[in-house]
Amino acid sequence: MTTRDSWRAWASGRKAPRITDWLREISEPDWSATVHHPLFDDLAAGRLEGKRFAAYMVQDYGFVDPFTALIGHAIGHAPSMADRVVLGQFMGMLTSDENSTFQRTFEAFGVSARADHLPATRDFRHLLHEVGMGGQASASGRYAEILAVLVVTEWLYLAWATRISRTEGLHPLMGEWIDLHDNPDFQAFVDWLRQRLDEEAAGLDDTDFSRMAERFRETVAKELAFHDAVHPCR
């Protein structure tokens, strides 16, 4: 049975089945463990000390650097201007508003962005780099693989940020970090990413489809390992 057969079996008998819903389901229990990670509850409740928040942001900047490069690859590999426009606008936000949140966090808490990366951060960076450089996948397979990674990273962040409820009087930079991931524009971007992956994945051959699904699960596992490493009390 191929991976695509598993998808077809899952889809049959469901109303309006979506590949991205199936991908999320086959990525359990890691998916839910990441969405419900105590790091995010502690952050929202004001229980995360400034220094610990800053240490998380330093590791996350280690993620964001190759992630930004991966968006660049997505722009290059997209099949149309329509996709390049949406991805380019996201890249603009990442390199302006979000980058500024990182810089002001490092400054406010007196930490250096150059600190050492934890092994889980290095693993994640390696994955992002590898997907950006591309494997043996065909052109459409490669774009779908990139989309799979983007869907995981952005959908997970939307999911925790819209799940938590924040306490009053939260440090403004922590509030900003949540704002970046629970706002309507970000929600629309995640909706778009899911839609595009649903469409692109449907047209892949069996080999590229399996590879895409494996990348999705691998990325979810890397997300969980990353958050366990920066907040080891799950």
Ligand X SMILES: Cc1ncc(CO)c(N)n1
- Tell whether residue 226 is a contact of ligand X (CB under 6 A): yes
Site for ligand X contains 22 (CB under 6 A): no
Stretch that binds ligand X, among 7-15, 100-108, 136-144, 150-158 (CB under 6 A): 150-158
* Cα distance between residue 7 and residue 18, in whole Å: 9
Annotated binding residue 179: no
Which stretches of the chain are DSSP H helices?
3-11, 19-26, 30-35, 38-45, 50-77, 81-93, 99-109, 119-133, 139-163, 172-182, 184-202, 206-230
Give the nearest distance from C-beta 229 to ligand X in angstroms: 10
Choose, by CB under 6 A, the member of 22, 31, 157, 160 that binds ligand X: 157
Q: What is the nearest approach in angstroms of ligand X to the Cβ of residue 63?
A: 4
Nearer of residues 27 and 153 to ligand X, judged by Cβ: 153
Tokens of 15: 């109303």
Rounded Cα gap, residues 42 and 37, in angstroms: 9
- Produce one character per residue of 79-94: b if its CB has 16 or more CB atoms within 10 Å, e if not: eeeebbebbeebbeee
Toward ligand X, which CB reaches closer, 7 or 153?
A: 153
115 CB contacts (<8 Å, ≥6 apart)?
Answer: 55, 58
Q: Is 97 helix (H, G, I), strand (E, B) or coil?
A: helix
Nearest approach, Cβ of residue 36 and ligand X (Å): 15
Q: Which 206-225 positions form the footprint of ligand X (CB under 6 A)?
A: 223
**Is 70 buried (19+), middle (13-18) or exposed (0-12) by CB count in 10 A?**
buried
DSSP letter for 7, please.
H
Q: Is there a binding annotation on residue 60?
A: yes
Using rule CB under 6 A, residue 60 touches ligand X: yes
Considering the complex, what minimum distance in angstroms separates the CB of residue 69 from ligand X?
13
The response to whether 208 counts as a known ligand-binding position is no
Please state the closest distance from residue 156 (CB atom) to ligand X, in A: 6
Q: How far apart are CA 52 and CA 44, in angstroms?
A: 13
Structure tokens at 209: 């489809």
Whether 107 sits among the annotated catalytic residues: the reply is no
Residue number, 4 or 24, with CB nearest to ligand X: 24
102 counts as binding ligand X under rule CB under 6 A: no
DSSP state letter for 79: S
Residue 230's identity, in one-letter code, is V
| 63 near ligand X, judged by CB under 6 A | yes
**Interacting residue with ligand X among 23, 153, 159, 224 (CB under 6 A):** 153
**Rule CB under 6 A: which residues touch ligand X?**
60, 63-64, 153-154, 157, 223, 226
Binding-site residue positions for substrate: 60, 98, 154
Catalytic (active-site) positions: 223
Binding-site residue positions: 60, 98, 154
